[in-house]
Chains A and B, each alone.
Chain A
Amino acid sequence: MIDIEKIRSDFPILKREINGYPLVYFDNAATSQTPKKVIDTIVDYYSNYNANIHRGVHTLSQEATDKYEEARKKIQQHFNIRKTHEVIFTSGTTHGINLVASGFSSLLNEGDELLVSAMEHHSNIVPWQMLAEKTGAILKVIPMNEKGELEMDAFERLLSLRTRMVFCNHISNALGTVNPIKQIIEKAHKVGAAVLIDGAQACPHLKPDLQELGVDFYTVSAHKMCGPTGVGVLYGKEEWLKKLPPYQGGGEMIAEVTWEKTTYADLPHKFEAGTPNIAGGIAFGAAIDYLNEVGMDEIAAWEKELLDYGTEKLQQIKGLKIYGTATEKTSVISFNIDGLHPYDIGTIIDKLGIAVRTGHHCAQPIMEYYKIPGTVRASFAFYNTKEEIDRLVEAVERARKMLL
């Protein structure tokens, strides 16, 4: 059982007041908040051992390198990744996806097929559209149903020997749906297709075992997992990472540079050109430690309770409709109220100290599916409480009365 008071005291920002009200932070699916332990790690880095890594022989550089590589190992262990060098530090999920998409441009031929799920974030759509345009590959969409679940029958029908890649999020940012990725990976592998899973929304809530899943690529962002912004990880199976060409050229990623020919460094450095976000990488490691101290199982259990409570309470509001009612779902509630624009609701409840997201959540195809301009999205984290949900319900009710 989670000690909610203790946990809340770990997050300095939760003491803030917004417009005279104690902050209720329900925009966790966009960015999670940062515990003191992670903030301290960043301060410690810049205060005590700020130096460039992997190069200097001096003590600070070695200390920084050790801590950075230690963070890589923590991430490896957390996701049960086979080899440390299969962990590539990136600037976030978007960077990871673009790295893979760019790499595949030399591996695809005209007429090859790429399958993408209907509930993707734009960052898992646009890089593949660009890739398709460049290579002549064809992008096909795995449809979803009204509940916000993927149509697995249709997926199987779309799969063929022409399918080269499948992309899907582990959890939908707009709907909260947990997708059956194990099944997707197995079926894709049967036709020889590689699978990339966007894990940005999943990893704050659950702890995937990447070896067990057998996935080819899996991407995450630290800022959704109590870590800092601007850092993330791309996991790739060694054989794929060896096959893909480097994404960016520069320092750190080379073995030898001459005017005639440059040879590339081994993994993971081949994909880590330039000075990385060193403090960010180390702090990501600290964030993983923090999540594990709280306990991923405890987190999942509490968030499930919040989801059930929030769903029940919000549904009592007149005219409120929830989008995304999948059986397997995490603590994201996307909703609209009959006759009201999500933007208006978001504006009013912000005045009451409540932070939610409004709009299309960078998933316009989903909004098009439901024929709506957007939704109000409340996304809960393990440091949220039922009292905060009560405040949300009260605020939405007040907004409804003001606006209608």
Chain B
Amino acid sequence: MTIAEIQDDIVDEFAMFDDWMQRYEYMIELGKSLPLIDEKYKVDDNLIKGCQSRVWVHAELNDDKLVFTADSDAIITKGIIAILIRAFSNQKPQDIIDADTAFIDQIGLKEHLSPTRANGLVSMIKELKMYAIAYQTQLN
């Protein structure tokens, strides 16, 4: 599936929820079920700065696709990471670079995009795209 198709799926799933409570419960669920990152990658070098909760991201190339694993000490943040990983992991670096992020708004997480939100959703997306740029350069 392309990034855009996966994002459409996520938007559809979130559309089933009537209120914020269900949306957050779902995100908490996603957070809890996020596959664990290998402990050896939970190091300061992989820490995203500017988050109120700690977020670690690790990226590695599998053939021509970029695979992300990540973790956080806050569960809602983990839920957001799970959504991002689902949308962006296992994709070609160039597709990740080109990907649109409007779906965040559509699933009602816009408030997490505000710069006053210290959870760093913006920083997370930036970090994923930075990895993609780095690996794309490597592939070229």
Any chain B CB within 8 A of the CB of A368?
Answer: no
Given contacts A343-B74, A343-B77, A343-B119, contact A402 B52 (CB under 8 A): no
* Contact between chains at A359 and B20 (CB < 8 Å): no
- Taking a contact as CB atoms closer than 8 A, the residue among A340, A343, A351 that contacts B52 in the complex is A343
Q: Is A347 positioned at the interface, with any CB of B under 8 Å from its CB?
A: yes
Q: Considering the chains assembled together, what is the distance between the CA atoms of A359 and B74 in angstroms?
A: 12
Q: Which residue of A lies closest to B54 (CB)?
A: A373
**Nearest B-chain residue to A374, judged by Cβ:** B52
Complex: how many Å from CA A358 to CA B117? 11
In this complex, the member of A347, A348, A359 whose beta carbon has the largest number of chain B beta carbons within 10 angstroms is A347
Q: Between A and B, how many residue pairs show CB distances below 8 Å?
A: 40
Query: Does B25 make an interface contact (CB < 8 A)?
Result: yes
Do A402 and B28 touch (CB < 8 A)? yes
Q: Mark A367-404, 1 if CB is under 8 A from B, else 0.
A: 00000011000000000000000000000000000110
Chain A, interface size category, equals 10 to 19
What's the nearest-Cβ distance from chain A to residue B6, in Å? Answer: 25
B75/A403 in contact, CB under 8 A: yes
Asked if B94 is an interface residue, CB under 8 A from chain A, the answer is no
A257–B66 Cα gap in the complex (Å)?
Answer: 64
B28 in contact with A373 (CB, 8 Å): no
Which residues of B are found within 8 Å of A341, using beta-carbon distances? 53, 73-75, 77
- Given A19-B20, A358-B52, A373-B53, the answer on whether A402 and B25 have CB atoms closer than 8 Å is yes
Distance between A335 CB and nearest chain B CB, rounded to angstroms: 16
Contacts of B28 in A (CB 8 A): 402-403
Asked if A344 contacts B75 (CB within 8 A), the reply is yes
Determine whether B24 belongs to the interface, using a CB cutoff of 8 Å to chain A. yes
Are B73 and A348 closer than 8 Å at their CB atoms? no
List chain B residues, Cβ under 8 A from A344: 53, 74-77
Residues of chain A within 8 A of B77, CB atoms compared: 341, 343-344
The 4 A-B pairs at the shortest CB distance, nearest first, are namely A341-B74, A343-B74, A343-B53, A343-B52
Which B residues contact A (CB, under 8 angstroms)?
20-21, 24-25, 28, 52-54, 73-77, 118-119
Provide a sorted-by-A list of 21 A–B residue pairs whose CB atoms are within 8 angstroms.
A340-B75, A341-B53, A341-B74, A343-B53, A343-B76, A343-B77, A344-B76, A344-B77, A347-B76, A348-B24, A348-B76, A351-B20, A351-B21, A359-B52, A373-B53, A402-B21, A402-B24, A402-B25, A402-B28, A403-B28, A403-B75
